[in-house]
Amino acid sequence: MADNSIEVKNLYKIFGTNGKKYIEAVKNGMSKDDLNAKHGHVLGLKNININMPSAKIQVIMGLSGSGKSTMIRHINRLIDPTIGEVIFQGEDICKMSKGDLQEFRRHKTAMVFQKFALLPHRTVIDNTIFGLELQGVDKKERHDRAMHWLSRVGLDGFEENYPNQLSGGMQQRVGLARALTNDADILLMDEAFSALDPLIRMDMQSILLELQAELHKTVVFITHDLDEALRLGDQIAILRDGEVIQQGTGQEIVLKPADAYIADFIKEVNRGRVIRVDTIMTAANGGSSITIPTGSRLELAAKLMVESGEAEANIIDDAGNAIGAITLKSAIDAMVTPAVH
């Protein structure tokens, strides 16, 4: 399978008429507030280095104003960086010509937006074919492909409706179908589920995970919601004031928050749904009748042990070999006590 990882290198974005001029100052430590007060320029992103893994979900998390939406727009260059590189399949997206960029956007990326950004004058099906229409795919084929994805996101029978006849959740399904119909390697999701109410948001997350399990796209997912980040992200980068303050797997972030800001953030997180059995398992001893597959989360492990009445369980790998063991006590310990850091 092709390597569809995205590498963001030394990316800076300074908004204003002459951002380049202040790069050196920012590199030498000028703060966002100083830059704004003294020079009227706004620091968007500062020294971003993220290696987004191929075929995984990379979450970029941050509160509003942290630069996360600016970040994602550099990947399809809806925003030009002040300096820096975004490398995909050996090519720097920031250096592409207009024509190349257009081709790149048509074939390599698809995007889902927070406010859906559907075309209000087009029906659901005509919205879904939009990307293929721009690519010049013939009518029959684009119709078939769009119908396939509409049905995959659960919109059978709504093809001829207009977007504003649909609820927010359904509109975003159209947005997702529109992006998937493009069949691009990169799926960019800019707070895609943030405008939806909690139940529908969970629903959409499940749909995304289900589809990702078979599609293996490189997904870049922006969110301000830590639970969402932990549920979806294979990798998470946390942004604050335009800087990456920590990146790693959800487990790494929960177990070893980089600073007090993040520690504060993760206080309320349900650890049982983040930490995996592998993290706390001890050497295999074969002393239990129940087995738990590797990579399971603690909540599931605890549940299995409680249901079977066992105080211990074996961890097995994909081939069924025992690779470790956990006790109910250690599982509950890890779920309730903040880990040392």
Partner 1 sequence: MSTDNAETGLNIKELLTEFPEMSRTELRDFKKGIDETFKGFTREYGEGIENFFDPLLAILVWFEKLVVATPWPLMIVILAALVYAGARSWPLVIGTVITLLIVGYLGMWEDMMFTLALISVATALCIIIGIPLGIIMSKSDRTQAVITPVLDIMQTIPSFVYLIPILMLLGIGKVPGLIAVCIYAIPPVVRLTNLGIRLVDKDVLEAADAFGASPRQKLFTVQLPLALPNIFAGVNQTIMMALAMVVVAALIGVQGLGSEVLKAVNNQYLALGLMNGLAIVAIAIVFDRVSQKFGKRLQKHSEVVHG
Contacting residues toward partner 1, per CB under 8 A:
76, 78, 102-107, 109-111, 113, 115, 117-122, 130-131, 133-135, 162-167, 182, 188
Q: Are 244 and 48 in contact (CB under 8 A)?
A: yes
Name the residue nearer to partner 1 (CB basis): 9 or 122.
Answer: 122
Helix, strand, or coil (residue 11):
strand
Which is nearer to partner 1, 56 or 105 (by Cβ)?
Answer: 105
Give residues with Cβ within 8 angstroms of 194, minimum separation 6: 114, 201, 223, 224, 225
Q: Nearest distance from residue 66's CB to partner 1, in Å?
A: 20
Nearer to partner 1, 69 or 251 (CB): 69
Shortest distance, CB of residue 282 to partner 1, whole angstroms?
49
Tell me the closest approach of the beta carbon of residue 162 to partner 1, in angstroms.
4
Q: Work out how close the CB of 197 gets to partner 1 at its nearest, in angstroms, rounded to a whole number.
A: 14
Instruction: Give the shortest CB-83-to-partner 1 separation in angstroms.
Output: 22
Burial class (CB in 10 A: 0-12, 13-18, 19+), 29: exposed
Q: How far is the CB of 153 from partner 1 (least distance, A)?
A: 17
Closer CB to partner 1, 53 or 169, in the complex: 169
DSSP assignment of 285-312 = ----S-EEETT-BHHHHHHHHHHHT-SE
Alpha carbon distance 164, 73 (integer Å): 26
Q: Measured between alpha carbons, how far is 128 from 221 in angstroms, rounded to an integer?
A: 20
If the CB atoms of residues 102 and 285 are measured against partner 1, the closer one turns out to be 102
- The residue among 51, 76, 58, 59 whose CA lies nearest residue 224 is 59
For residue 192, the 8-state DSSP code is T
Nearer to partner 1, 173 or 276 (CB): 173
Phi, psi of 141 (to 5 degrees): -65, -45
Nearest CA-CA partner of 104 in 175, 185, 174, 192 = 185
Min CB(117)–partner 1 separation in Å: 4
Nearest approach in angstroms of CB 75 to partner 1 is 10
> Using CA atoms, how far apart are residues 119 and 163, in angstroms rounded to an integer?
8
Which C-beta is closer to partner 1: that of 100 or that of 259?
A: 100
Of 42 and 78, nearer to partner 1 (C-beta) is 78
The enclosing H or E element of 314 equals strand 312-316
- Closest Cα partner for 265 from 112, 63, 71? 63
